Amino acid sequence: MTLQTLETQVNAPEATALFGPTVTFNIASHLPQMAATRPNQRAVVLGRSGAALTFAELESLSNRYANGLSAIGVARADRVLVMVKPGFEFLGMIFALFKMGAVPVMIDPGMGVGRMLECIRTVDLHGFVGVPLAQIVRVLRPFAFRSVRSVVTVGKRWFWGGASLDELERGASGHFTLVDTKSTDPAAILFTSGSTGPAKGVVYEHGMFDAQVRMIQLHYGIKPGEIDLPTFPLFGLFSVAMGMTAVIPDMDAARPARVNPAKIVEAIRDYGITNTFGSPAIWKRVAPYCVERDLKLPTLRRVLIAGAPVPLQVIEQLHGVLPAEADVHTPYGATESMPISSIRGRELIGLRSDVGRAGAGTCVGRPLLGIDVRLIRITDDPIPKWSDDLVVADGEYGEIAVAGPVVTKAYFGIPHADALAKIRDGVRWWHRIGDIGYRDAEGRLWFCGRKSQRVATERGMMFTDCCEGVFNEHPGVARSALVGVGPLGNQTPVIVIEPKPGHFPRGERVSVFTRELLELVQPHANCHSTIDNRQSSSTNRQLAIGNWQSAQVLFHRSLPVDVRHNAKINREELARWAARRLA
């Protein structure tokens, strides 16, 4: 099997749903459809209190919001920043904006006020819906909000003017006619986490959101009437669109690594959760919590984990607490293109025995229906036009490029970013994921690391996920990070180790621990690639032992991670730290 488009392998109704022509379509239409067919089913439940809205009630609420927003001047195509906690108001507001043809803008507040304001400045906002704390930021930093003409406060409004959400809703009609948007019209601007560079606003179209809903539902067999626990706020919208009941967990969505596992387990058991999506950081806490207490999660049918490579130990632990017919799934993609591929946890565990745990990278599975994935030669330069000459041979390392109905076409107002990430191919676009990978003989895609985080020595390139997998085999290592110090092309590889509790080395143990780590890496041929796409696969994966013999090993108490999933290691920050340590 090759990683070509799967469009020809599906039946006509499925192909029409995913590949149909540009039509009049509004992604919010899923909500009134569910309200008509499932009016009394709970659409959203607040896990902390148990308060709930049915689909009919959520439909009416979003209609009142839409009418209220229209009354204060919010119009079609207006860009409206939404900074509201997960819950009734968030879901109602986003669906209201979709219905109006307005464009909600969503930025992760966990990235910090400074970076958040930089994102806001790039968007040229027309409206702002936010909680009081967010409104205070607007008042104190007015420059970033200078284009805003409509303001709504969710909660108590103090001195800053505008309307409160209660005022907006009061007296508004519960009926609203969806705007006739096209499937290619902008639906939302979602900002990337900025974990490997400046955060960028990704433009989503109505048809792209619909394709995501259909692809996820089809691939994972999700049925209306299921009960979902979306630990990432945006996925509550998908839950509703699929006819699931969304139970909003009692957690800080901006800090998944700090989740209280007891509250997640309580929600799963109390509400009979059948489906859940979340960061590896959440399940690294929940899975061992269940194992240690011999707790089972008998209602769960599927656990979707994404945002960073998932430790196999976590998958194994989850299999011990899930029913036999359930499984863990690790979908792969990016804000600009999600989902691309997926693999079941049981297949991942089987692969470990086939290829070994270390050095191969992380298998992210086969492409989903309608997704075309290619591996192209590694370059940091723009590629304005697609050519099949870009594609590397099977088994070779390359940058992952993807095309399909969920692949976004542009960033908002950042043409230089478009030039680096997008490739025109006739009427469609390819997105360069920025990840390095390869394809195996079974047609599965393997992730080897971020292109921007590769270490380029005078002997060739080294990829983070492959190398780190070797060092993570040491029983005293919690996790590791490969970084490069020095100019690109002549970098010194540095492996930064976060030891497990009780294993941080001191005195003579530092040199002993270091020697044990470097001995681990020598037998593995996938950790260093000479990368020459004209050479054979075996040459392409040759290990440069000499480089590791001169490599540096540093120990760190707690590796820094991204703000969104709390799971991706911030290697850029670590590289600066390592350079200071080695100066």
Output the DSSP codes for 373-401.
Answer: EEEE---SS---B--GGGBPPTTS-EEEE
pTM beyond cutoff 0.95: no
Other residues' Cβ atoms within 10 Å of the Cβ of residue 234: 16
CB 483 within 8 A of CB 468: no
Integer Cα distance of 39 and 82 in angstroms = 27
CB 62 within 8 A of CB 95: yes
CB 307 within 8 A of CB 280: yes
Integer Cα distance of 461 and 471 in angstroms = 18
Write the secondary structure of 116-171 as one string of H (helix), E (strand) and C (coil).
HHHHHHCCCCCEEEECHHHHHHHHHCHHHHCCCCEEEECCCCCCCCCEEHHHHHCC
Integer Cα distance of 534 and 521 in angstroms = 26
Of 156, 138, 130, 163, the C-alpha closest to 64 is 163
- The rounded radius of gyration (Å) of the Cα atoms in the chain is 24
Torsion of CA 203, 207, 211, 213, to 10 degrees: 90
Question: CB-based contacts of 304: which residues, under 8 Å, 6+ apart?
Answer: 220, 275, 276, 277, 278, 328, 329, 330, 331
Distances (CA, A) of 563 to 192, 249, 256, 337, 444: 11, 19, 9, 19, 29
CB 5 within 8 A of CB 404: yes
Integer Cα distance of 137 and 140 in angstroms = 5
Both tokens of 126, joined, read 């027309």
Integer Cα distance of 67 and 96 in angstroms = 8
Integer Cα distance of 354 and 333 in angstroms = 25
DSSP run (H or E) holding 437:
strand 428-439
Integer Cα distance of 287 and 312 in angstroms = 12
Residue 179 DSSP class:
P
* pLDDT in 10s for each residue of the chain, 583 residues: 233 333 333 333 343 444 456 788 999 999 999 999 999 999 999 999 999 999 999 999 999 999 999 999 999 999 999 999 999 999 999 999 999 999 999 998 878 889 899 999 999 999 999 999 999 999 999 999 999 999 999 999 999 999 999 999 998 999 999 999 999 999 999 999 776 678 999 999 999 999 999 999 999 999 999 999 999 888 999 999 999 999 999 999 888 889 999 999 999 999 999 999 999 999 999 999 999 999 999 999 999 999 888 888 999 999 999 999 999 999 999 999 999 999 999 999 888 755 545 678 899 999 999 999 999 999 999 999 999 999 999 889 999 999 999 999 999 999 999 999 999 999 999 999 999 999 998 999 999 999 999 998 888 889 999 889 889 989 999 999 999 999 988 899 999 999 999 999 999 999 999 999 988 887 664 455 444 333 333 333 433 333 566 679 999 999 998 776 667 899 999 999 999 999 8
3-state secondary structure of 56: helix
Residue 101 DSSP class:
T
Torsion region of 294: left, alpha or beta (phi above 0 gives left; psi -120 to 50 gives alpha): left
Both tokens of 324, joined, read 């036999």
Q: Where are the alpha helices (DSSP H) in 481-569?
A: 508-521, 537-540, 545-549
Both tokens of 223, joined, read 């049925």
Distances (CA, A) of 261 to 223, 281, 360: 27, 11, 31
Exposed e or buried b for every residue in 101-124, given b needs 16+ CB within 10 A?
bbbbbbbbbbbeeebbbbbbebbe
Distances (CA, A) of 3 to 31, 210, 470: 35, 23, 28
The single-letter code of the amino acid at 350 is G
Integer Cα distance of 31 and 45 in angstroms = 16
CB 461 within 8 A of CB 527: no
Of 534, 453, 450, 447, the C-alpha closest to 491 is 453
Residue 17 DSSP class:
H
Integer Cα distance of 543 and 470 in angstroms = 13
CATH numbers and ranges of domains, the chain: 26-35+49-181 (3.40.50.980), 454-582 (3.30.300.30)
* Residue 7: predicted pLDDT: 34
* Residue 5: predicted pLDDT: 33
Residue with tokens 């002549």: 490
3-state secondary structure of 181: coil
Both tokens of 259, joined, read 């989740």
Integer Cα distance of 169 and 68 in angstroms = 6
* Residue 525: predicted pLDDT: 45
CB 211 within 8 A of CB 191: no
